[in-house]
Amino acid sequence: MSTERVLTGESVSTNVWRKAQQSTGAESVEKQIETKIWSVKLPLNSADDEQMKVLSEQIREETGGRSDLNTLGFLLIQTREYHKAERYFRRLISDTLSNDPAMDTFYNNIGGVYNLQGEHSQALKYYQEALEIQLKTLGSNELSVANNIGLATNHQGEYTQALKYYQQALEIQLKTLGPHHPSVAKTYNNIGGVYENQGEYSKALKYYQRSLEIELKTLGPNHPSVATTYNNIGLIYNNQGDYSQALKYYEQARDIDLKTLGSNHPSVATTYNNIALIHTDQGKYSQALKYYEKIVEIQLKTLGSNHPSVATTYYNIGAAKLNQRSIALRGQTVRNLTRKI
């Protein structure tokens, strides 16, 4: 059983260099997209609808108010409708002129879809296609996709290559965006992830803390990206055996996720899992079971009963109950022996 680190790459981009065409009807494209995305999954409850509205608003801010099929694809990814998202991105490629400067974004986003599904070789293929387009159209100072290639190579265990691309992305971001931009924070987070995977926890912590400092200044204390970084810092302390510090950061991540994403979001399940594993490592099986039960409830709603993650959680529940039972039996045996003496 391993604690889950939250990845933060720029794997999917909502940034396109074309203004969305406005609808000829009374309803804007933006509104149509919101209507479509809410119909992707049957309405769950008013709280879930409210969370989607918050997400839509965040995306509108990030894209400067632009909305089109690219944004719809991004929203579909948030609900884990990966195949539908890929279909929209492929449609954009087929409907776009080959020399359109937005083309690299669409290849990048297909790569992001594959990356999120764990198909890192396929992701790398599309990221490299996006990189070639960027080199041709924008030059070496605009290689935003370098971060994504780092993300894919990190997943594949090619840590030296991953660091090379992350450092390249960081140099460009520092030149073009300055040192206090959220994208710089994400790259620091990703560099920290590579060092973490290599077991260099002090270096990893240094980069995670840099990321957190920027995010708190630019995004505020209740942003999902801040929760991601808290989770990653928590994992470092967990790996170092400092469970109380790890739990502190995990609980901060949990509180933010519940506020911003709602109680049924996969990120909440990830944080619950990290908290549960801390309790498991400390032998607090009743506490761990409380979180595992919450996790499986979220997973059944968002992933379905046949997903491998559901099986893993059921296994963790079984293991916790078995350990709990074993402790109870040992206690009973000791009591019986004491009586005989």
Q: Report the CATH number at residue 17.
A: 1.25.40.10
The pTM of the whole model exceeds 0.75? no
**Residue 97 within a domain:** yes
Closest CA to 211 of 239, 171, 168, 170: 170
Please count the structural domains in the chain: 1
**How many angstroms separate the Cα of 318 from the Cα of each of 290, 293, 297?**
13, 11, 15
Query: Max alpha carbon distance in the chain (Å)?
Result: 89
**Residue 79 within a domain:** yes
Range(s) of the domain holding residue 59: 1-170
* Joined tokens for residue 208: 């995670």
Q: Rounded to an integer, what distance in angstroms lies between the CA atom of residue 291 and that of residue 3?
A: 14
**Residue 150 within a domain:** yes
Q: Tens of pLDDT along the chain (341 residues)?
A: 445 544 444 444 433 322 222 223 333 433 444 444 433 333 334 444 555 555 555 555 554 544 466 777 877 887 778 888 888 888 888 887 777 767 888 888 888 888 888 888 888 888 878 877 777 776 655 556 676 777 677 777 878 888 988 888 898 889 888 999 998 999 999 999 999 999 999 999 999 999 999 999 999 999 999 999 999 999 999 999 999 999 999 999 999 999 999 999 989 999 999 999 999 999 999 999 999 999 999 999 988 999 899 999 999 999 999 988 887 666 555 555 555 55
**Residue 64 within a domain:** yes
**Residue 38 within a domain:** yes
**Residue 265 within a domain:** no
Q: Which amino acid is at 93?
A: I
Q: Is the dihedral of CA 101, 102, 103, 105 positive or negative?
A: positive
Q: What is the per-residue DSSP string for 98-154?
A: TT-TTHHHHHHHHHHHHHHTT-HHHHHHHHHHHHHHHHHHT-GGG-TTHHHHHHHHH
Q: Rounded to an integer, what distance in angstroms lies between the CA atom of residue 258 and that of residue 229?
A: 15
